[in-house]
A and B are shown apart, each in its own frame.
Chain A
Amino acid sequence: DAKTTQPTSMDCAEGRAANLPCNHSTISGNEYVYWYRQIHSQGPQYIIHGLKNNETNEMASLIITEDRKSSTLILPHATLRDTAVYYCIVRETGTASKLTFGTGTRLQVTL
Chain B
Amino acid sequence: DAMVIQNPRYQVTQFGKPVTLSCSQTLNHNVMYWYQQKSSQAPKLLFHYYDKDFNNEADTPDNFQSRRPNTSFCFLDIRSPGLGDAAMYLCATSRDRGTEQFFGPGTRLTVL
Interface residues, chain A, CB within 8 Å of chain B?
34, 38, 41-46, 49, 87, 91-104
Residues of A within 8 A of B106 (CB): 41-43
Of the candidates A45, A93, A103, A104, the one whose C-beta lies within 8 Å of that of B98 is A93
Question: Residue of B at shortest CB range from A102?
Answer: B42
Determine if A43 and B105 form an interchain contact, defined as CB atoms under 8 angstroms apart: yes
Known pairs A45-B103, A103-B42; A97 contacts B90 (CB<8 A):
no
Number of interface residues of B (CB under 8 A): 24
Residues of B within 8 A of A91 (CB): 98
Residues of B within 8 A of A43 (CB): 4, 90, 92, 103-106
Determine if A42 and B45 form an interchain contact, defined as CB atoms under 8 angstroms apart: no
Residues of B within 8 A of A49 (CB): 100
Determine if B103 and A97 form an interchain contact, defined as CB atoms under 8 angstroms apart: no
Additional A-B contacts beyond A46-B102, A87-B42 (9; CB < 8 A): A38-B43, A43-B106, A91-B98, A93-B99, A95-B98, A96-B98, A97-B48, A98-B45, A98-B57
Known pairs A87-B42, A104-B42; A97 contacts B100 (CB<8 A):
no
Question: Residue of A at shortest CB range from B108?
Answer: A41
